[in-house]
Amino acid sequence: MKYKRLWYIFGVIFIAIIFVFYLLNESNFLNVIDEYDSVKVERTAKESCLQCHIGTTGDSEYHNPELIGCVSCHLGDGKSMDKVESHSNMVRIPGNLSDVKDTCGKCHSEELKKITNSLMTTNSGLIAVNKYIFGESKSPYEKYHIKDVKYSAADKHLRDMCANCHLGVEKTEYGAINQLSRGGGCNACHLNYSEDAKQDLQKYLSSNKKILPKFHPSTDIFVKNEHCFGCHSRSSRISTNYEGWQETTFKKKDIAQLKSSEYKVFEDQRVYKYNGEDVHHKKGMLCVDCHTSHEVMGDGKIHLRQDTAVKITCSDCHYKNKPNTLTYKDLDKESLLVFLHRNYSHTNKKILKVKKSGHPLVNTYIDSTGTAYLIGKKDKIPRVIKPQSQICSRDNVHKNVSCSMCHSSWTSKCIGCHNQFDKNEPRAFDLLDKKYGKGQWKEYVAEFSSMLPAMGVMENNGKKEIKPAIPGMILTIDKGSYAGKEIGEEVTFHRLFALNSPHTTTKKVRDCKSCHANSEALGFGAGNLTFDIKKGFGKWNFVPEYALNSNDNLPEDAWIPFLKNVKKDVINSTRTDFRPFTVKEQKQLLLVGACLQCHKETSKVMQESLINGIQPLLKKLNKSCILPTYK
């Protein structure tokens, strides 16, 4: 009897604790909601909408019409029982930037402020580089907004080829986000159709809009990779790279002849070949597992380039010594909402935070043993986060080499591109105005392939960091064709590599030779780079794979000439703070490459070179060692 009473007391205490925890979390949620609600919404009981749209379900818990009504999102007149009056001034697809101040932004005003200045809204970096290359701007760092683009040669080029990927593009048709989707404001990331909602929509459309849908699409925080794909499968092709797909020049009709499951046709009819997916994608992780709302929607500041807007780094999760953390009580409003909406429960554990910005990664925590975990936002499965291995963090020689430089397995390679204006194109489509006209810029690509990333030097505030680079713009632009001149009369040639984040991460790193004795990595382009020894002298020789381009006498895919200085007036990067190696730096790298011809990278001497560099070892060379000579 005594033990039963004790068990009863313990049971009551346990239930009380659970109830208090619930109240605390409920209170937190309500406080956050109160702070976010800048308007008072009409309750559904006072709205006429559901008199016709009876039993409509499917929206997220926090956008439930029972809680916020219909008018708060769709506007219209929720007091009128007349169909025409109640639908007057109604927004069929709320969330586009054209109406966001009156719809989503009424409650989410802070997010609206952030997204207004976001690069995904302004496209500033894209416009700046385009104008810079066309010679219409003296700097690739000017501030622009896509809505202000006019009709110069560079502007028309954007209108014809690039201006479809920004949040200001209107979503005008019902339906789920897919590979062809572009923009749509808040819908771009937050619109989700269940299978029921998709089927219901088809019934509604096929019935000439007579059968009203019973399942409403959801607007929520559950962002999927499909939301990113439409825009980020272009340009540097981050989304396709992440999934392991490399673009080709094949057409859909060629697939039958190839007879290979390694090829895939995407919705825009581009043909891709499987080339190895990112390890994070292979483990089921989403883009938003790393790139949180603080990055994707922006921080409210105006950034000119993507690399300054992105704050997270590999070492924020795969830390070296001690992780950067905060507690549940330290969460900002936005992060707390995400934490609660996703029903996380690690309120008593430390949470990892991004070093550069201090914002939390709410889907991470550290347990009592000091082990870090990441909860997958797709499957809710906790994954152990492994800290940096000793190989990554043991030496001083590579301390300025970025993680992605060693851990990226491949990146895109596009060469031989020609841009020409076809004044006679009868169905030219303006991506900004959404209108057909006459005359359009066209792009002719010679080859799509892949490569190990080249190495480039990022210089900022006296610091140097080695980061991945790709042949982003090896192209010709027939500017005269836009001015009505004869074809080929005014053609400019550009050989520009771009700072790149490949998103093809692997656990296995590239070996030492792939940097120190690899022609593509050093910027010379594909080919045969050999260290030849004759009569006791060593010499590096390079035979390029591609023919020399008549414009600058360099191989088609090269960044710089082999062991020759680049002329001072030559622009070879899309950035003024990102450059290829100098001849002196090339020789330093090739010196190690010469050693690697005989010594394995795991040998004692090469391991010693990682601690203090190669120079101390040169003082005690073996007589059989032959170093490079340069004339």
**pLDDT 10s digits, 589-611:** 999 999 999 999 999 999 888 88
* 625-628, Cβ contacts within 8 angstroms, sequence gap of 24 or more: 625/595, 625/598, 626/533, 626/536, 626/537, 626/538, 626/594, 627/538, 627/591, 627/594, 628/531, 628/538, 628/539, 628/540, 628/587, 628/590, 628/591, 628/594
- pLDDT computed for residue 8 by the predictor: 52
Q: Which residues contact 443 (CB under 8 A, 6 or more apart)?
A: 161, 417, 418, 419
How far, in whole angstroms, is CA 601 from its chain's centroid? 33
Q: Is the pLDDT assigned to residue 121 strictly greater than 80?
A: yes
Question: To which residue do tokens 């381009």 refer?
Answer: 549
pLDDT confidence tier of residue 5, bands split at 50, 70 and 90: low
- pLDDT computed for residue 393 by the predictor: 63
Cβ proximity of 105 and 94 under 8 Å: no
Structural domain that includes position 465:
392-618
Residue 350 placed within a domain: no
d(CA 348, CA 339): 13
The residues that bridge with 435 in the sheet, in sequence order, are: 430
- pLDDT computed for residue 3 by the predictor: 47
Q: How many other C-beta atoms lie within 10 A of the C-beta of residue 172?
A: 10
- pLDDT computed for residue 46 by the predictor: 74
Digit-coded pLDDT (tens) for 241-259 = 999 999 999 998 888 777 7
H-only helix segments in 266-418 = 279-282, 293-296, 306-309, 314-317, 333-341, 390-393, 403-407
Residue 501 placed within a domain: yes
Residue 376 placed within a domain: no
pLDDT confidence tier of residue 164, bands split at 50, 70 and 90: very high
Q: Is the pLDDT assigned to residue 15 strictly greater than 70?
A: no
Residue 334 placed within a domain: no
The residues that bridge with 444 in the sheet, in sequence order, are: 418
Residue 293 placed within a domain: no
- pLDDT computed for residue 394 by the predictor: 57
Domain count, the chain: 2
Query: Mean pLDDT across the chain, nearest whole number?
Result: 90
Averaged pLDDT, 557-571: 93
Residue 43 placed within a domain: no
Digit-coded pLDDT (tens) for 292-313 = 999 999 999 999 988 899 999 9
d(CA 179, CA 228): 9
Residue 351 placed within a domain: no
- pLDDT computed for residue 112 by the predictor: 95
Name which residue leads in pLDDT, 46 or 579. 579
Cβ proximity of 91 and 74 under 8 Å: yes
- pLDDT computed for residue 27 by the predictor: 47
- pLDDT computed for residue 54 by the predictor: 87
Q: Is the pLDDT assigned to residue 20 strictly greater than 60?
A: no
- pLDDT computed for residue 35 by the predictor: 45
Residue 508 placed within a domain: yes
Digit-coded pLDDT (tens) for 490-527 = 999 999 999 999 999 999 999 999 999 999 999 999 99
Name which residue leads in pLDDT, 438 or 460. 438
Q: Is the pLDDT assigned to residue 7 strictly greater than 80?
A: no
Averaged pLDDT, 264-281: 95
Q: Is the pLDDT assigned to residue 31 strictly greater than 70?
A: no
- pLDDT computed for residue 21 by the predictor: 43
